[in-house]
Amino acid sequence: MSIFKNDILKGKIALVTGASRGIGRAISVELSKAGAHVILVSRTLSLLRETEEAISSSGGWAKALSADVASINDVSKVFNFIEREFGYLNILVNSAGISPHYTSFHKAPLEDWKEIINTNIFGTFNCCKLAFPLLSKCSSSSIINISSIGGVIGLPRVAIYTASKGAIVTFTKAISIEWAPYNIRVNAICPGFIETDMTKGLSSKSELKEQVISRIPMGRFGKPEEVAKAAVFLASDGASYITGHCLIIDGGWTAG
Ligand code: NAP
């Protein structure tokens, strides 16, 4: 009998960046529950090992590899590992991302712009570029880029972050067209406010948190697992005709 709750991704090879915490970690766990072998990437090996342990103690397979997605050299080492071990890749999830500041654009230091752009945009570009030869070896494969509602609407005090996430939405659409002939589906998920370390600073200020919650029709932040289950769907054959799509998961924030 299968140890997995379902087998919709049985035997698939997946790479998840930002897998040590938050949304990336939840996606890694859900992909594993669906039967995928998961390669876990972020900079902090100790935390990645916790995700690895959570997956292997539930009977899944995971491998933690430390890498900075903004570094093409680091990312190359990850893909060299996948090439050597498996020779192909079915699923790439780009969840690594940062949003270091809640401040007005004119006050944000230039160094911070670069860090956000290097991680959120170049990190995704690096992984997509190096994944292409391995993804295109499969009869069907899938990329899921984690953008944000900030990629489709303006969010004040995170202007550079929203610019980086907007870039991910249009990049996703562009390469979905370019790579459709290679049977690579490319989609994005645009989460609203999700309970992770990224929103901890906001959550700790109760007045600010109340203001945010008052804008969410469902009246609460989302949970990482609620994003992760959608990622499993997009990675699966159930989404076989879905490409170039940006799935908003925001409790209704952008509906009005
Ligand atoms: P999080 O809890 O802060 O986790 C971020 C993850 O990205 C960590 O695993 C972190 O690990 C990794 N990371 C950051 N910079 C990296 C780098 N240069 N190289 C490799 N890994 C890196 O954030 P989260 O909320 O899960 O966010 C995940 C994604 O969802 C991000 O792209 C974020 O923009 C997006 N998002 C989040 C929300 C939200 O409300 N939480 C809403 C919309 C979109 P290390 O620090 O160990 O490297």
In a domain? residue 254? no
Domain span holding position 50: 13-249
In a domain? residue 226? yes
Residue 213 buriedness (CB in 10 A; 0-12 / 13-18 / 19+)? middle
Number of domains in the chain: 1
Residue pair 231/19 in contact (Cβ under 8 Å)? The answer is: no
- Ligand 1, residues 77, 116, 189, 198: which to mutate, most atoms within 8 A of Cβ? 198
161 is catalytic: yes
In a domain? residue 204? yes
Residue 245 C-alpha to ligand 1 middle, in angstroms? 21
Reported as a single tens digit per residue, the pLDDT across 45-73 is 999 999 999 999 999 999 999 999 999 99
In a domain? residue 139? yes
Residue 198 C-alpha to ligand 1 middle, in angstroms? 7
Q: With 0.95 as the threshold, say if the pTM is over it.
A: yes
- CATH number at 100 reads 3.40.50.720
Residue 248 C-alpha to ligand 1 middle, in angstroms? 17
Reported as a single tens digit per residue, the pLDDT across 187-242 is 999 999 999 999 998 888 899 899 999 999 999 999 999 999 999 999 999 999 99
